[in-house]
Amino acid sequence: MTDKNRVFIFDTTLRDGEQSPGATMSHAEKLEIAAMLDEMGVDIIEAGFPIASEGDFAAVSEIAKQSQNSVICGLARAQLPDIDRCWEAVKHARRPRIHTFIGTSPLHRAIPNLDMDQMAERIEQTVSHARNLCDNVQWSPMDATRTEHDYLCRVVEIAIKAGATTINIPDTVGYTAPRESADLIRMLLERVPGADEIIFATHCHNDLGMATANSLAAVEAGARQIECTINGLGERAGNTALEEVVMALRVRHDIMPFDTGIDTTKIMNLSRRVAQVSGFPVQFNKAIVGKNAFLHESGIHQDGVLKNVETFEIMRPADIGLNETNIAMGKHSGRAALRAKLKDLGYEVGDNQLKDIFVRFKALADRKKEVYDEDIVALVQDAAANTGDDHLQVKHLKVVCGSDGQSADLTMIVDGEEKTVHATGDGPVDACFNAVKQIFPHNARLQLYQVHAVTEGTDAQATVSVRMEEDGRIVNGQSADTDTILASVKAYVGALNHLIVRRAQLGRDDKQISMYSH
C-alpha cells in the first residue's frame, strides 16, 4: 500500500442517514453506533447537525467526547452562528472537523436569492471563519453535479484559499453516472489552483442505483474520501452504502488498487444494529448485507458451490463477520458462556446489563429449543430499547382475538402508578393500542408497523418495530418476544417513552430549519 492510494471512509449514517423520514435515532443509539463505527475503523464520523436542535448538539458533543480514533465532524450551513455552534460541539473530540456547505447549482442559488458574486463572498467568509476555529475544515458545494463547471471551479478555489482541507463534491439528487462522476473530479484536479493540496471527497445518492459505481469512479479519478452510510441509509433512495464501496475495493483490488482502514468483519453487526435502530429493514437481495447475499438456490449453482466455493462466490461470509456456525446456546448455558457469546457478537455489556439479559435468555431458552445468535442479538437489543427507568411500563396483558372480535385487558405502570383498562379494536393490535391510549392519551399517529421472525420455526421470537409521529416528531420503538402481540405492545409503549423524552426536548422537528430563511 502506498499512501496516495489510501481512501478515507467518511460515514454519515448519523447525519445524512438519520435524516431519512422515520430514521430518527435516540441519543443513546447514536452514541452506540458512533462507538461501533469508530471501532470499525471509519476515518471520519459525521455525527450530526449541531444547530438543528438541542438533541443534535448534545449527540455530537457526546460522540466527540467518547471518540477514540475517528475524526468527529459536524455539519453547518454557510452562516456564522451555525459554524460556531458546530465548533462548540465537535471541539471536544481528539480530532474535530467542521463541515460547512451551500447549494451552488442554479436551482439552489435561486432559493436564497444570492447571485454568483454574493455567494462567492459568503463562501469565503464562512470557510475562513471555520478555519479560524478548527484546522480541519470540509466544504461542500451542494448539488455540485448540477453546478456550472466554471462556477464550480471558481468557488472550490475560493474555499481552498479560505482554508478548506477537504472539498466534498455532492451528487445531492443522485443524478450522475460513473463516467461523469470521474470527469468532474478530474476537471477540478486539473483546473483548480491548489487542488493537489487538499483531499477531494465524493458524496453520492442512489436515486438511479449507481451511488457505489459513481463513488468508485470518483476515486479512480483522484477523490480520496468516500462519504457513505451503513446499509445505504438516507433520504429517498439513500446514500452510497459503506459496505458496498469497502467490499468492492477489497474484492476488486486488482483493478482498483485502493485501501481503506475498515475492519470488514464488523460490517454485519453494524448493518444489523443500524437496521434495528433506524427501523429500516435491509432487503433480502441487498448487496453484501442482505439475508440472501450468500445464499444459492439453483441446482447448477449449488453443484458449483459444493465443488469449488469460488465458482459462484467472490467473498466469504466471514469477510463481513457473518458466522455460519450459528447454533448458540441452550438452557444449560451459564452466565460466562453468555458473556463470551455476547463478546463474540460484538457486545460488551456491564454486570447489571448482563444480569438482565441472562434472565431474559433463561426465560427464552425454557420456551425455545434452539437459541441462535440472532435470538441473543434480539435480546440485547430489546434490553437496550426498553429499560426499567421508562415512564410507561407494561405489567400485564391479556388479549382475545379471532373471528368473533378482539379485545385487550392491559395493566400498565405510569410513573409508578398502576392502571388497568379493557379495550376493543379492529384486530388484536388495534385493541391493545387502544388500551394503551386509554391509559396514556396521546395524538401520535402510527406510521409503520412491522414484524419479523428473528429465526426460523414457528416458536421463533419476533421483533416488532413501530414508528409514530406527533406534530412532526418521529419516534421508533422495538421489542422482541415469542408473543408477537406482547412484543407489539412493548414496542408501542417504547415509542411512547421516546416521545415523552422528545416532548421534553427542544427537538429538531419543533423548529424546522431552513438554510434560506436567514
DSSP state of 50: G
Q: Give yes or no for residue 363 binding its own copies (CB under 8 A).
A: no
Q: Which of 45, 169, 192, 247 binds its own copies (CB under 8 A)?
A: 247
Q: Give yes or no for residue 293 binding its own copies (CB under 8 A).
A: yes
Question: What minimum distance in Å lies between the beta carbon of 44 and its own copies?
Answer: 20
For the window 94-133, what string marks contact with its own copies as x by the rule CB under 8 A?
---------x---xx-xx----------------------
Strand partners, 170: 203
Residue 69 or 424: the one with the smaller Cβ distance to its own copies is 424
Q: Give yes or no for residue 193 binding its own copies (CB under 8 A).
A: no
Q: Give yes or no for residue 320 binding its own copies (CB under 8 A).
A: no
Residue 299 or 441: the one with the smaller Cβ distance to its own copies is 299
Q: Give yes or no for residue 26 binding its own copies (CB under 8 A).
A: no
194: left (phi over 0), alpha (psi -120 to 50) or beta: left
On whether 149 is known to bind a ligand per the annotation, the reply is no
Which distant-in-sequence residues (6+ apart) come within 8 Å of 241 by Cβ?
206, 211, 212, 228, 229, 230, 231, 232, 287, 288
The interface region with its own copies, picked from 114-122, 294-302, 322-330, 332-340 by CB under 8 A, is 294-302
Question: What minimum distance in Å lies between the beta carbon of 444 and its own copies?
Answer: 10
Q: Which of 6, 194, 300, 340 binds its own copies (CB under 8 A)?
A: 300
Cα→Cα distances 457→368, 376, 405, 454, 479, Å: 10, 16, 28, 9, 19
For 394, phi and psi rounded to 5 degrees? -85, 125
On whether 92 is known to bind a ligand per the annotation, the reply is no
Cα-only R_g, the chain: 24
The interface region with its own copies, picked from 5-13, 14-22, 160-168, 184-192 by CB under 8 A, is 14-22
Q: Give yes or no for residue 439 binding its own copies (CB under 8 A).
A: no
Distance CA 277, CA 486 (A): 20
Q: Give yes or no for residue 484 binding its own copies (CB under 8 A).
A: yes
Which distant-in-sequence residues (6+ apart) come within 8 Å of 350 by Cβ?
none
On whether 239 is known to bind a ligand per the annotation, the reply is yes
Q: Which of 399, 412, 475, 496 binds its own copies (CB under 8 A)?
A: 399
Q: Give yes or no for residue 481 binding its own copies (CB under 8 A).
A: yes
Q: CB–CB of 278/233 below 8 Å?
A: yes
Q: Give yes or no for residue 261 binding its own copies (CB under 8 A).
A: no
Strand partners, 166: 138, 199
Q: Give yes or no for residue 340 binding its own copies (CB under 8 A).
A: no
Distance CA 154, CA 152 (A): 5
Distance CA 113, CA 344 (A): 55
Task: Point out the annotated binding site.
Answer: 16, 203, 205, 239
